[in-house]
Amino acid sequence: MILCVDLDDTIASSGKTIVSQAVQFDKDFLKRSGSIKPVHDCEDYYYFAKMLNWSRNDLIKFFNHCYPMYLTNIKVKYNKKKYLRFLSNLNIKIYIITSRREIGNEIVKNITLNWLNTNKVFFDKLYINVENKEKLIKEINPDFYIDDSLQNCNLASNYMDYSKIFLMNTEYNKNLESKYKRIKSIKDFYNIVKDGDICE
């Protein structure tokens, strides 16, 4: 069986890191106030830009300036990485698929691989710089899918039964209505799989 799982705000606890760096960037480089508004209904992963009322151009400037540093400083989400290995023990392959954008010379790929290895995050395959997760989901045909982006979950549902798709609950998506089961961590998913005996 195959689990396709997103990386940022799903395995990696990206939110606090990126919001902190985005606020600093807003002050130091965009020469603005750095004040943020609460966001609890974001369907994609640009909640920090929405919090700061950034334009697309602001977002591009941020990634050009801060991306490698931001990726290096992220922590593992909830310290539940061991449950990925537990899932492997249930004969589930772990495919990490991320939209992290390459910025040349495989810098992002190398940072991501180093981060995964340093934090001892277990996985079978890594797909990086994925511009179209829907297309990849169609190609892989996984048994399960986990993402914090409702938008990506909806795209995955074009090729998967909605009951096999799980929305990772975050501060930034908690007010969105969803037909997918919400989970707080990989541990939650592991317990669902284990208790449901669906791997036999």
101 and 164 assigned to the same domain: yes
Shared-domain flag, residues 91 and 111:
yes
> What element of type H or E holds 160?
none
Looking at the structure, tell me whether residues 26 and 91 fall in a common domain.
no
Per-residue pLDDT tens digits for 120-159: 999 999 999 998 999 999 999 999 999 999 999 999 999 9
Given 73, 88, 108, the domain boundary residue is 73
**Whether residue 118 is found in the same domain as residue 176:** yes
pLDDT of residue 77: 78
Residue 80 binned pLDDT confidence (cut-offs 50, 70, 90): confident
Looking at the structure, tell me whether residues 90 and 168 fall in a common domain: yes
Q: Are residues 83 and 162 both part of a single domain? A: yes
Q: How far apart are CA 41 and CA 61, in angstroms?
A: 24
Range of the domain at 176: 2-13+75-196
pLDDT, tens digit, for every residue of 38-68? 999 999 999 999 999 999 999 999 999 999 8
Could you tell me what percent of the chain has a pLDDT over 70?
97
pLDDT at 198: 58
Count of structural domains within the chain: 2
| pLDDT of the residue at 2 | 97
Say if residue 64 is in the same domain as residue 105: no
Q: What is the mean pLDDT of the chain?
A: 93
- Are 147 and 96 spatial neighbours (Cβ–Cβ below 8 Å)? no
